[in-house]
Structure 1
Amino acid sequence: MKRIFLTILGIFLLSGGFAQDRQTADSAFVRPLLDVLMDIEKQFDITIKYDKKMIDGKMLKYADWRIKPWSAEESLNAVLAPFDYKFVMDNGKYKIKEFEYARSNEAEGKKFLDYLETLYSDKAGWEKRKAELKSCLPKALHLSPLPAKPDSKVILTSKRKYDGYTVENFAIETLPGIYVTGSVYKPEKIKDKCPVMLNPNGHFGNGRYREDQQKRCAMQARMGIISASWDIFAWGESLLQFDGTLHRLSAANTIQTLNTLRVLDYLLSLKEADHTRVGITGGSGGGSMTMMIAAIDDRITLSIPVVMLSSYFVGGCPCESGMPAHLCGNRTNNAEIAAMFAPKPQLVLSDGKDWTNVVPELEYPFLKRTYAFYNAENNIENEHFPTEGHDYGLSKRKAMYRFVAKHFNLDLNKILDKYGEFDESKVTVEKESQMYVFGDKGEKLPVNAIKGKDALLKVLRDVGILDK
């Protein structure tokens, strides 16, 4: 009996008893995330900002083992990773945010570019990599094959005549019942074929109606270019069809790319269009579109991405990065996507107060390396504005005017004053209502125009952009 009792006791200790001891030991390492963050603040003498809703009730396993006494940053990375959180610096404080797949930091950007450089060291290797990306990008955007074009005509409003240029508003049905609206600017007098310039918009306030966007397009027209600007999805007149919250759908990434391609189709259908001189330039989210379209559409012959090119940021809005394009080729970034435009002329405009702040030292040398594969280093340029911020301001527009005139063989004197300075004073800045296609209250919206999220998703499924 004594032997049987000892055997049973041994089994108990090996199973329940020891298991309970292990459970107690494991539990000792579980602590509330809030307490851990407070300890880190005290230990490293730092301030951590966070939304209490993100922290309250969260429990962290192996909490104290994650704290690295030599580094607040390494500690925070280890502590936040199990919750898919990260930190960013905000005025000297550590701010906790949900994980952002679209953004990292300069150090990771440098590592990313160093890694990409190991994949190819000459033109042949690069061409193989480029072909892989060029095949993948449209598929990742769900635009391969492209959906069929609706069988409808471009809607045009009456022409307004100004000093050296004209303006018409247009609407293009890009998918059944879905319209993109914009304005086309043309030289006042057209004798020969004209270059074409796409001006995709970003998230700057007031969209395509803002003063600097109108000036940019009008000045291009005064130089002799057919220029176009249009609303991004679920902004501007697109709000007649879709609530602004739909702008942040991942599918907006696809719709905006398709809209850009459809606008380009329209411009190149004009009898005055010169298919050998086709440019694209946009700032911020418009810069994202500039790089993507330049990479995937061979019709583009000149590219000017503005305040957007970065190795560690691909656009925080789902309309820029909602589709997995940057997962192509086992991960790519906007610097490599911009490099796909080599050897054609490209001007990168960057500044000192956003994620383009290190372009001269980081991304620009990477681009020059790729252009060197084609002996075309003279076709890639960077103008950096270290004291300026995230905009498409006058200094950046001047750089764009010079680059376009140089490569499109245009006469800059058409937009200079008697002192040789760029003169935008002759541009008429229109009221927003003048730029509408569908009337002041949307009363001219086509009868087949769809409205709302459910109708949108149905169309996207019907044309194969979304799975049914």
Structure 2
Amino acid sequence: MKKNRSIFILSICLLLGLYSASAQYQTSDSAYKRPLKEVLMRIEKQFGVTIKYKDEQVAGLWVPYADWRFRPTVEETFDKVLSPLELKAKKDKEKVYKLSDYEYYRWPVEEGWAELDRIAAQYHNVTEWEQRKALLKPCLFEALQLSPLPEAPASKPIVTKERKYDGYTVQNIAIEILPGVFVNGSLYKPASYRGKIAVILNPDGHWGGQRFRPDCQLRCAALARMGAMAFSYDLFAWGESTLQFNSKDHRRSLSMSIQALGSIRILDYLLSLKDADTSRVAITGGSGAGSHTVLMTALDDRIKVSAPVVAISSYFYGGCPCESGMPIHACGNRTDNVEIAAMAAPRPQLLVSDGKDWTDRTPEHDLPYLQKVYGYYGKSGNVENVHLPEEGHDFGINKRKAVYDFMIRNLSLNKKAMYDAAGNLDESRITIEKEPSMYVFGDKGEKLPVYAIHGFEKLEKVWQAARTSKK
């Protein structure tokens, strides 16, 4: 037995030795291929860098002609080695990189600018631009599978009891947008007012805390105190929507269509209210909700004013399938988010950008393009940019202040309700509610209607049925 075991071990060692030799001296017969993990180790050694990754990211992956892919710099080598595998290495800090999936939605700045220049070369005056817009708009609806729009359920919105605060009120509302599918939010209104008031949609972004986070509450309450009804609402499979769907479903392409349909249905409801001023309708959102803000303004002419925050860039198409999962960017022989933003022209639009995300170059290239398109209407001043070069990706106080000032001017809001005599913004009178108080369906979802659907598979069936019934 001992002799047999020794022979077995020796055989294994010989095989490993042969494998090691073959791996070390690859030839064209084997396409010079090496395991990706081995190639990454060689890159680390050759260039003196550290590459962070999980074993499951590289398991089973091979690099053909691996030795031939090395270049003089680590960045060039990463590109040659990782691009065919749909991977990339993002710089984490000096000499440290992190392996991640290839980001189809993020281009080099120069490529994004060149693409916008190519797009812009197709029109030179208002007539040509209107023809371009007439081509893009129906295509956007078709790409989202919203042409024609599904039938709206006949149910009434579910509305909770009103909560009263200093200068404003809040109610939680759920609207059924497809059979058994709800979009949930909170409606902020002025505590007292006469006549009709402005309407402002506030879709949620991708930050933690969803629409329950303090900066979102501050923004909506401030807009209400100044005289508008501000509706804050969840993204699909986000916030209270997770009562019906798994949070992973948010990263499915259909989320983009469901969110667009949700905003249309919300606007239908708000504009049906007797105190809604249909001539003063706005939308503002940050990050993924900023992309959504631009898309909804392009789709829905009822929106008169828009303010996308830390979102729009000619070299970034949105890092979530809810922003780029449906083929909207294939419209018109390809478009981008900046051209979609131009579809708002000549309606007032504010882009808030910062120095630490993909909006860092907004003033240099994207803003001049937008001003040119707005200039076709003689309204180049209707598109504005507040750039905060020392700030990052958030909806902080300076971003909110930029939005407040813009909405005050374009919706005739009452500035004195939020600013002191010296012109200083004061949000201290706003109450930050605890998350459960903002739920429509109770602390544990116990008030969710019994006919509400659960799970993405059921949603797909409802979606298909809704689309089929309209054809």
Contact between 2:198 and 2:411, CA under 8 Å: does it hold in 1?
A: yes
**2:458 maps to amino acid:** A
Which residue is equivalent to 2:4? none
* Alpha-carbon distance between aligned partners in 2 of 1:297 and 1:462, rounded to the nearest angstrom: 24
Query: Residue 270 in 1 paired to residue 273 in 2?
Result: yes
Which residue is equivalent to 2:13? none
Which of 89, 92, 104 pairs up with 1:87?
89
Contact between 1:167 and 1:186, CA under 8 Å: does it hold in 2?
A: yes
Contact between 1:141 and 1:253, CA under 8 Å: does it hold in 2?
A: yes
Contact between 2:31 and 2:64, CA under 8 Å: does it hold in 1?
A: no
Which of 73, 76, 79 pairs up with 1:77?
79
* Alpha-carbon distance between aligned partners in 1 of 2:27 and 2:199, rounded to the nearest angstrom: 71
* Alpha-carbon distance between aligned partners in 2 of 1:338 and 1:204, rounded to the nearest angstrom: 22
The 1:338–1:313 alpha-carbon spacing in structure 2 relative to 1, beyond 3 Å, is: same
Superposed CA RMSD: 2.1
Which residue is equivalent to 1:107? 110
**2:104 maps to amino acid:** Y
Q: Secondary structure at the match of 2:193?
A: coil
Query: Residue 170 in 1 paired to residue 151 in 2?
Result: no
Which of 337, 348, 364 pairs up with 1:361?
364
Q: CA deviation at 1:68?
A: 3.5
* Alpha-carbon distance between aligned partners in 2 of 1:246 and 1:422, rounded to the nearest angstrom: 39
Which residue is equivalent to 1:314? 317
Which residue is equivalent to 1:348? 351
* Alpha-carbon distance between aligned partners in 2 of 1:155 and 1:28, rounded to the nearest angstrom: 63
Which of 252, 259, 263 pairs up with 2:262?
259
Q: CA deviation at 1:57?
A: 4.0
* Alpha-carbon distance between aligned partners in 2 of 1:85 and 1:443, rounded to the nearest angstrom: 43
Q: CA deviation at 1:422?
A: 1.5
Q: Secondary structure at the match of 1:246?
A: helix
Query: Residue 335 in 1 paired to residue 362 in 2?
Result: no
Q: CA deviation at 1:76?
A: 2.4
**1:459 maps to amino acid:** V
The 1:51–1:366 alpha-carbon spacing in structure 2 relative to 1, beyond 3 Å, is: farther
Which residue is equivalent to 1:224? 227
The 1:353–1:24 alpha-carbon spacing in structure 2 relative to 1, beyond 3 Å, is: closer
Which residue is equivalent to 1:246? 249
Which residue is equivalent to 1:52? 55
Out of 196-205 and 157-166, give the one that drifted further: 157-166
Out of 38-47 and 430-439, give the one that drifted further: 38-47
Give matches, 1:127-166, under 5 Å: 127-166=130-169
**2:75 maps to amino acid:** E
**1:294 maps to amino acid:** T
Amino-acid identity (%)? 55
Q: Deviations over 1:383-433 (max 9, x none)?
A: 011111111111111111111111112231122224331221221222222
Query: Residue 198 in 1 paired to residue 201 in 2?
Result: yes
* Alpha-carbon distance between aligned partners in 2 of 1:32 and 1:234, rounded to the nearest angstrom: 38
Q: Deviations over 1:123-157 (max 9, x none)?
A: 23322222221111111111111100001111111
Out of 291-300 and 94-103, give the one that drifted further: 94-103
Q: Deviations over 1:237-281 (max 9, x none)?
A: 222222222222221111111111111111100111111111000
The 1:465–1:342 alpha-carbon spacing in structure 2 relative to 1, beyond 3 Å, is: farther
Structure 1-normalised TM-score?
0.89
Query: Residue 451 in 1 paired to residue 457 in 2?
Result: no
**2:82 maps to amino acid:** L
Which residue is equivalent to 1:300? 303
Q: CA deviation at 1:31?
A: 3.6
Which of 325, 330, 334 pairs up with 2:328?
325
Which of 188, 196, 208 pairs up with 1:185?
188
* Alpha-carbon distance between aligned partners in 2 of 1:455 and 1:52, rounded to the nearest angstrom: 34
Out of 415-424 and 368-377, give the one that drifted further: 415-424
Out of 49-58 and 311-320, give the one that drifted further: 49-58
Aligned length: 443
Q: CA deviation at 1:111?
A: 2.1
* Alpha-carbon distance between aligned partners in 2 of 1:254 and 1:465, rounded to the nearest angstrom: 16
Contact between 1:339 and 1:370, CA under 8 Å: does it hold in 2?
A: yes
Structure 2-normalised TM-score?
0.89
Which residue is equivalent to 2:411? 408
* Alpha-carbon distance between aligned partners in 1 of 2:447 and 2:400, rounded to the nearest angstrom: 34
Q: CA deviation at 1:44?
A: 4.4
**1:301 maps to amino acid:** K
Which residue is equivalent to 1:30? 33
**2:347 maps to amino acid:** K
* Alpha-carbon distance between aligned partners in 2 of 1:38 and 1:235, rounded to the nearest angstrom: 39
Contact between 1:143 and 1:465, CA under 8 Å: does it hold in 2?
A: no
Q: Deviations over 1:185-238 (max 9, x none)?
A: 112222122111000001112111111111111111111111101122222222
* Alpha-carbon distance between aligned partners in 2 of 1:49 and 1:122, rounded to the nearest angstrom: 50
* Alpha-carbon distance between aligned partners in 1 of 2:426 and 2:54, rounded to the nearest angstrom: 48
Out of 258-267 and 120-129, give the one that drifted further: 120-129
What runs of 5+ residues in structure 2 fail to find an aligned partner? Answer: 1-25
Q: CA deviation at 1:45?
A: 4.5
* Alpha-carbon distance between aligned partners in 2 of 1:329 and 1:464, rounded to the nearest angstrom: 24
Q: CA deviation at 1:67?
A: 3.2
* Alpha-carbon distance between aligned partners in 1 of 2:49 and 2:129, rounded to the nearest angstrom: 45
Contact between 2:219 and 2:400, CA under 8 Å: does it hold in 1?
A: yes
Which residue is equivalent to 2:16? none
Which residue is equivalent to 1:287? 290
Contact between 1:142 and 1:465, CA under 8 Å: does it hold in 2?
A: no
What runs of 5+ residues in structure 1 fail to find an aligned partner? Answer: 1-22
The 1:296–1:25 alpha-carbon spacing in structure 2 relative to 1, beyond 3 Å, is: same
